[in-house]
Chain A
């Protein structure tokens, strides 16, 4: 196959920054290949994409695309005709407010004839499965749909190479799946060369070849199987092993002979092979220890009949919540899962009265009830001692006790120094707090999120790294020592190590400052690993609310809702077909133990 991108000893440094963002890398990408690129935040992945596309000019070394040297400025447009990039945020790539106009933008730029543009729009939209939305407004589409439009916009230029620069990072699992399916199809059916830059190890597995970057260098390159075999090496590059490799390792260390495989069904087959070799034809593990049901506490949350409609009384009225009743006990680590638009975010915004119940609004008057008709059901929420349906409730103290961290909280930072930003909430809630106490609280909360107070307090929050910004933002919420902490997608957009660290931080907070932690998440594995109980919200209703071990037994129902299940559940399902029933609490650790238990049991028999 023809070499399509060739790089030799490529170097690049950002102006005004020390060190090389790309430090002497050499690689070759052939036509028709599907290459995934992984690496920690700041490892140089995105810089590489921008270099290949001619958006940045290398300092030294050689980089050619289809024989054209990117160093020569005149090649830039020609190279971009052959290499298309889809970026992270779909919203920031749209130039028009009608889908077909946006897709037409690229071909228009390179002077394609009108009729041909029409044909290309047809082709590009059908390649991403969005023909039906040709005349829609991108703003009304889901994240996955928008990103598919962005892909179509690049395809319409008819490039040879498609680079996806973390294009799935901001999508929910359903959207991610949609985009990845499109990309795989393009690779298989159209023979398009794909470079997939991603933080999701599960996506990286799909490629023919994986490149691992660390501090501007390529440190590993090979088939995904080869790469993910090197367990510890990956961790030194701030990457995590995919969960499936962790399970394999656990089983191997118990003496089982497990090959490195990357699909749940394959791992299940490996496990069953081991069982067969020992003459175990079936079996059942013990049940996991029942999750502690938190006793009623002072700070229980009680939600009854919660219904909420956006833009009431307008043609755009949309019902977000439809009769939600939910109890969350004091001290739980609670998970809320559901699709984008299922109502999760609306639900949690009720907990600190960012959205007030109608009865708590100043203008509220009791509706007149006609004789013979039942009184309308009014929603009720109590959070600890706060009655959210009363106008008299002190909503300010409620907000000080129920901290809320929004998605991408670093985007709310605004103050000149980290200290001022963290102190902002504290000063809002208690204007008369003495300076020493403010300082102490800010110091404590910066230190609990893992930052060095003296080092960062006078810095501008905008000079920090992405992970540090998020920590500062979280510190700015927990500074009032809220009893309940609600986080919307706390780990979104972070690299695997960053994700792990944030979850560790939440557990630290849970055992200290914030007795109840509620996370809203898309990631089933994350929820299964961390939460005591999980509520599934679907179409504004509570579909189920249970401990992960019980909840994920209903895998079929969840799939019917379009939701994923944790990896362990998938493997269990395959094992069950082979007669082995594993009852685990869905964590990787417990699952491995239960498999080993059945395996060891076979030896005795």
Chain B
């Protein structure tokens, strides 16, 4: 039942993008997303696309696995698209029925929006495909460090995330084993109405919960006996390092920001009407 759950999306390889500092990758993703929404014409959007595909190529992950990430959100994308096509206001009306109308501006805007969203999802998937959950956690912890000043428990949060990640495989195993065991006792999880099915899950959930509590207790003892006493006086073995790759990538992202801004200023004349609508929206 759960055999096919491979945790995370990480695609093992040793590419340029894989070896970037996770903190940088997180920041670059945020910068990229901001640029996607700053871009107000197709040229600026094309600049984003160039960087995106360059990143995919440099990451040496199959294009298929990047595109597959869209599959998960395709429903939301299509739904947003339909809403936009039918409800966007514009001057050139092709078709109208009640409150629904299709305008040329609406179509152009929707296409533009679709590209934005596709690129957004693809860029995020590059991050998760090239970064292990562990280094993502490290990156987040490091980026959140300033919050320590307002006594936000950054270290504890990162430790919780790290432990959660390391426990997922054994909890999946455990779930599979309990499911099999109850099936062997004639439990039926696949038929009956929704209420019957929910009730059928009880013999899985209770043992799983108890086992999770037992594990937590043992883990607590193991951590205590390994001298854990919170973040006080703690050193950290792994230091994230900002290397030449990061510098190079940093320059590329900087170039994108500059490019998008320049294209926004100088090219909006080419698609004036789009510019107008995007500003309105």
User: Which of A104, A114, A424 contacts B185 (CB under 8 A)?
Assistant: A424
Q: Are A95 and B188 in contact (CB under 8 A)?
A: no
In the complex where A101-B134, A111-B233, A352-B184 touch, is A316 in contact with B226 (Cβ < 8 A)? no
Q: Which residue of A lies closest to B180 (CB)?
A: A354
Q: Are A414 and B181 in contact (CB under 8 A)?
A: no
Query: Shortest beta-carbon distance, B138 to chain A, in Å?
Result: 9
User: Which of A93, A150, A349, A476 contacts B180 (CB under 8 A)?
Assistant: A349
168-224 of chain B: CB within 8 A of chain A? 169-170, 174, 177-178, 180-188, 202-203, 206-207, 210-211, 215, 218-219, 221-224
Query: Shortest beta-carbon distance, A331 to chain B, in Å?
Result: 22
Q: Indicate if B229 sits at the interface (CB-CB under 8 A).
A: yes
Q: Indicate if A108 sits at the interface (CB-CB under 8 A).
A: yes
- Measured between beta carbons, the chain A residues less than 8 angstroms from B239 are 114
> Interface size for chain B: under 10, 10 to 19, 20 to 34, or 35 or more residues?
35 or more
Q: Are A462 and B210 in contact (CB under 8 A)?
A: yes
- Measured between beta carbons, the chain B residues less than 8 angstroms from A480 are 186
User: Which of B206, B215, B223 contacts A91 (CB under 8 A)?
Assistant: B215
A397-433 interface code vs B (CB 8 A; 1 in, 0 out): 0011001101101011111000000001100110000
Q: Indicate if B228 sits at the interface (CB-CB under 8 A).
A: yes
Q: Are A477 and B166 in contact (CB under 8 A)?
A: no
Q: Are B186 and A104 in contact (CB under 8 A)?
A: no
- Measured between beta carbons, the chain B residues less than 8 angstroms from A412 are 178, 181-182, 203, 207
Q: Indicate if A138 sits at the interface (CB-CB under 8 A).
A: yes
A310 to B5, CA, bound (A): 12
Query: Shortest beta-carbon distance, A599 to chain B, in Å?
Result: 49
A409 to B159, CA, bound (A): 32
Q: Are A109 and B134 in contact (CB under 8 A)?
A: no
Q: Indicate if B9 sits at the interface (CB-CB under 8 A).
A: no
Q: Are A92 and B215 in contact (CB under 8 A)?
A: yes
Query: Shortest beta-carbon distance, B159 to chain A, in Å?
Result: 7
Q: Which residue of B lies closest to A117 (CB)?
A: B237
What does DSSP make chain B's interface, helix, strand, loop or mixed?
A: helix
Q: Indicate if B6 sits at the interface (CB-CB under 8 A).
A: yes
Q: Indicate if B280 sits at the interface (CB-CB under 8 A).
A: no
Q: Are A85 and B166 in contact (CB under 8 A)?
A: no
A367 to B274, CA, bound (A): 54
Q: Which residue of A lies closest to B236 (CB)?
A: A108
Q: Are A105 and B134 in contact (CB under 8 A)?
A: no
- Measured between beta carbons, the chain A residues less than 8 angstroms from B170 are 91-92, 139
Q: Are A105 and B226 in contact (CB under 8 A)?
A: yes
Which of A98, A109, A110, A400 has the most chain B CB within a 10 Å cutoff? A109
Q: Are B227 and A413 in contact (CB under 8 A)?
A: no
- Measured between beta carbons, the chain A residues less than 8 angstroms from B182 are 412
What does DSSP make chain A's interface, helix, strand, loop or mixed?
A: helix
In the complex where A92-B219, A157-B227 touch, is A477 in contact with B202 (Cβ < 8 A)? no
A534 to B133, CA, bound (A): 44
Q: Are A95 and B165 in contact (CB under 8 A)?
A: no
In the complex where A96-B162, A101-B134 touch, is A153 in contact with B226 (Cβ < 8 A)? yes
Which of A97, A105, A118, A138 has the most chain B CB within a 10 Å cutoff? A97
Q: Are A104 and B221 in contact (CB under 8 A)?
A: no
Q: Indicate if A7 sits at the interface (CB-CB under 8 A).
A: no
Which of B166, B184, B218, B223 has the most chain A CB within a 10 Å cutoff? B184
Q: Indicate if A219 sits at the interface (CB-CB under 8 A).
A: no
A78 to B77, CA, bound (A): 57
Q: Are B186 and A109 in contact (CB under 8 A)?
A: no
A314 to B182, CA, bound (A): 27
Q: List 14 A-B contacts (CB under 8 A).
A: A55-B221, A92-B215, A96-B166, A105-B226, A107-B237, A121-B237, A154-B225, A396-B188, A400-B186, A406-B184, A409-B181, A412-B178, A414-B203, A477-B185
Q: List 18 additional contacts besides A108-B235, A138-B166, A412-B207; criterion CB under 8 Å.
A: A50-B221, A77-B229, A85-B221, A87-B218, A94-B167, A98-B132, A108-B237, A109-B234, A111-B235, A113-B235, A114-B237, A154-B226, A354-B184, A406-B184, A412-B181, A424-B185, A476-B185, A477-B184
What are the 8 closest A-B residue pairs judged by CB atoms, nearest first?
Answer: A428-B186, A425-B185, A139-B169, A104-B237, A92-B218, A414-B206, A93-B222, A404-B184
